[in-house]
Amino acid sequence: MVTIINFKERQKEDGTSFYLLEIQGGIEMVKSQTTGQYYATSQKAYIPSTFNETTCKALIGTQMKGNIQKVECEPYEYTIRETGEVIMLNHRFVYSQQEQGPVVVESNTDFKSYAETETFSRNGRSVEFA
């Protein structure tokens, strides 16, 4: 299951606005390759909507069937807000209606900083903006 936790307004190239729903997946336990300890995390993704602001506000807290999956994409630069460090990423997180069981991921850092992506599409393909 995923939960709608927020929404964001975005502008299309023609100047009109639309809203993205921010969704969050369930808890995942990630084992640090550095310390060997587990930590809890969850993944987030954004999905475009046709809803207005009032509807988006009302949807916060709604749970939907599905999960958030990590998929490979063209490499892009991402700046870690807390440190200012610029890193290259080649993945993004997307919503899938397929249910998935609990996931355990091996991590080479103590806490991963995942890119929050902003999605825009003119042709049905998701494009990421870091």
Residue 85 lies in a domain: no
Is there a domain that residue 14 lies in? Answer: yes
Does some domain include residue 53?
yes
**37-84 confidence digits (pLDDT tens):** 999 989 999 999 999 999 999 999 999 999 999 899 999 998 888 888
DSSP string, 14-50: TS-EEEEEEEE---EEEEETTT--EEEE--EEEEEE-
* Structural element, H or E, at residue 120: strand 118-120
Cα–Cα distance for residue pair 54/90, rounded to 1 Å: 35
Report the largest interatomic distance among the alpha carbons of the chain, rounded to a whole angstrom: 50
Determine, yes or no, domain membership for 19. yes
Does any domain span residue 110? yes
pLDDT digits (tens, 9 = 90+) for 82-106: 888 888 989 999 999 886 654 444 4
Residue numbers of the domain that contains 18:
2-67+95-121
92 strand-pairing partners: 71
Count of structural domains, the chain: 1
